[in-house]
Amino acid sequence: MSIKTAVIVGAGMAGLTAALSLARHGISSHIFEQAPQLGEVGAGLQMSPNASRILRQLGVLEELEQHWFEPDHIRLVSGVSLKSLASIPAGTFARERWGAPYGVVHRATLQQALLTAVLRNPLCRLDLGHRIETAAADQMLADMPGSPDLLVGADGAWSRLRARIPGSPSVAFSGNIAWRFTIPGDQAPAFLDRHSVTAFLGPRTHLVCYPLKEIGGFNIVAIAAGISPGETFLAEGTTAQRAGLAGQFSGWNREIRDLLDLAERPNLWPLYQARPGRWQNGRDTVLIGDAAHAMMPFAAQGAAMAIEDAFELSGFVATQPLPQALAAYESVRQARAARVRNRGAFNKFAYHARGPIRLGRDLVLSLRSPQSLAKDLDWLYGYRAKG
């Protein structure tokens, strides 16, 4: 074992997974979270097999499976005509092909499952209501009993710990907003598939819908251009902003426009992206999750990448001297994140296509079998993180 103790800043999915992953190797961790209490904002998320496989190894998946929903398919549908364009099998197919399930779950459910596991683990300690700024990090490490070996920045897209790493990534607003809301099952229109994850594609925008077992309703995410409300995921759209959203969907099917009208108090999430940069300082500090590689959600891999980061980081620091471990982590994970980011960029191009490109996209998708589309995802969903 190269290290014995770690400090983790941030108790989101990345930070909690890091603590559990380190504990598997006998490494103790102390998590500091600025919020006075944990409450995951947003609504649903997609948990693909590359991440659920890790959650199984951490002993968290069994709890999740009691609450989540495993879709039969991942469908691509025209937002204008409601015509099905393509479908990728999930459900039993995902378990058999990729060796782990594909589920959709409320963010709060995943965070609670991770939190419960952390609180039960004697090697993990959590302190809430502690904001760790860069200037205070050195003193905090010096003052802590045992002088922790590693500082893990799991503090999200607007990370303060980045400043400890020369040449670390900067983040910039993408110009896009994710509007997130849920609707009760009895209000859901008939065209929504009760058994699948569905992405409705349209010019410059798209909409993702899937059922959430915990609420007996649907999770809805609309991606469109917008203005950032700043460093927050708790903003509610103003009347003018909602009118702007409606305008961007003006050419869509009437039923989808009516669906957007059902949103009573949608959360407005600004989508930020991290530029290339260093993820570790070669000595004692490393970034994971959005702190390292905040990216657009077009591959539905934000949570999965954070979970992979945490798990693989633990494997490196448990088996190699710390400087080599951090360098190896950075090399492996940057290559992986870059490939996922490129896939997301391709999806954005395809999902938001218009004019002749949209017609070509629809034709190509109509010629692809579900199995061939699934094969294209083997590198992503079949990835086996080494922890």
In 3-state terms, what secondary structure has residue 186?
Answer: helix
- Measured between alpha carbons, how far is 257 from 207 in angstroms, rounded to an integer? 11
- Measured between alpha carbons, how far is 242 from 58 in angstroms, rounded to an integer? 41
- Measured between alpha carbons, how far is 150 from 32 in angstroms, rounded to an integer? 14
List of residues 6+ apart from 329 with CB closer than 8 A: 279, 280, 286, 312, 313, 316, 317
Q: Are 47 and 58 in contact (CB under 8 A)?
A: no
Residue 279: exposure state from Cβ atoms within 10 A (0-12, 13-18, ≥19) = buried
What is the phi/psi pair of residue 191, to 5°? -75, -10
Question: The tokens of 344 are what?
Answer: 């997301």
For tokens 């994140």, the residue is: 337
Enumerate the H helices of the chain as residue ranges. 13-23, 49-57, 61-65, 91-98, 107-120, 134-143, 239-248, 254-261, 290-293, 302-319, 322-351, 355-367, 370-375, 378-381
Q: Are 2 and 9 in contact (CB under 8 A)?
A: no
Active site residues: 210
